[in-house]
Structure 1
Amino acid sequence: MLLRDAGDSAAAFPLFEKAIDQYAESGSLDTAAMTVEKAAKVIVLQEPEQAIKLYEKGLALVQQSDRSKMAGEFLSQITRLNLRLERYSEAAKAIRDEIEKYVEVKEAGRVGQLTIALVLVQLAQGDSVAAAKWYQWVLEQCPEFEFTDDARACR
C-alpha cells in the first residue's frame, strides 16, 4: 500500500502476486482471492494489464474452490479491462467463459445480458458472421434463452 501511495503501482504488483501465492500455498484460497480483488483495485487505473493478470490468477484460484459468484465477478472485471484496452478478442473469450458459468447454474437472464455483450463485441470488430455464430452457440448451450427479450434483441 505504501508503494501505491507513493505512486509506484508497478513495484507493488510483484508484492501483491507474492502475497496471493503465499496465501494460496498455505491453503487460504479465500484470503488469496480477496487479496486479488483488493490488489487489482489498487493498480487498475495505472496498470490495467497487470490488473487483468491478477484477476486471471484469482479466477484460477476460485475455480479450484468452486466459488462461482466470485469467478463471475473476476471474469466480468477481465472483460471490462480488456474492453477498455480495446482487446476485443480477449474480452469476447472472457464473456464466453462467463456465459458458460451462468449456463451451468441455469441463469438465463444473465446469459441473455452476456450474449448481448458478446454480439456487440463481435459487431464492434466488424464481424457479423462471428456475432451470428456465437448467438447460435448460446442458443445451443441454453435453449431457454431463445424465448427471452434479450434473444429477440440479438436477432
Structure 2
Amino acid sequence: IRQRIPRVIIRSTVITGFSGVGEEGFGQLLDYVKTIRFDRLGCFVFSPEEGTPAAGMTDQVSRATASSRAALIMETQKEIALAANKKRIGQVTRVLFEGVDERGILFHGRSYGEAPDIDPVIFVAATSPDLVIGSRPAVRIVDARPYELIGVSLNEYCE
C-alpha cells in the first residue's frame, strides 16, 4: 500500500487480554505491530461484559497481564509513531484549523491523516489575519513528536 500511495496513513486498533491469548499469541501481535508499522494505533484492554459469550470463556487473561501487554504495545507504537511523523517533516499539506492552543499562540487542527477525536493534532504557527478557526491553509510540517506535529502556515496553493 505504501509503495502505491506514498503519503497514505495506515491505522488500526488492537485489543489485549482476550480469553485464551497466551504469551505466544501476544508475541505474534507485538511482532505484527512491529512489522506493519502503523502510523496510528489504538490499543484497548479486553473487558469481559457480563452476559456475553466472551465473559464465560475459559482461560481468562488477568487484568494486570492485559494491561502490561497494552502498555508494551503502546510503548512500541510510540517509537513507530515518532518515526512515521518524522517522515512528514518538510511535507506541505492542508490543515483544517479546529481551535487555538491554551496560550492563544498556535492553531491546532488536522490534515487528511488525522481522524477527529482519536488522532493527534497538528499545531500551526500562523500570523495572517485571514486565518481563523475553520480555515484550511497550506502548512509545512517542521517538527514531529510521537503524537503531534508542528507546522507553519504558508501562503501557497496546496493539493
TM-score over 0.5 (shorter chain): no
More helix by share: 1
Larger Rg: 2
Higher fraction of strand: 2
Q: What is the TM-score normalised by the length of structure 1?
A: 0.28
Indicate the structure whose relative CO is greater, using CA pairs within 8 Å and at least 6 residues apart: 2
TM-score by length of 2: 0.28
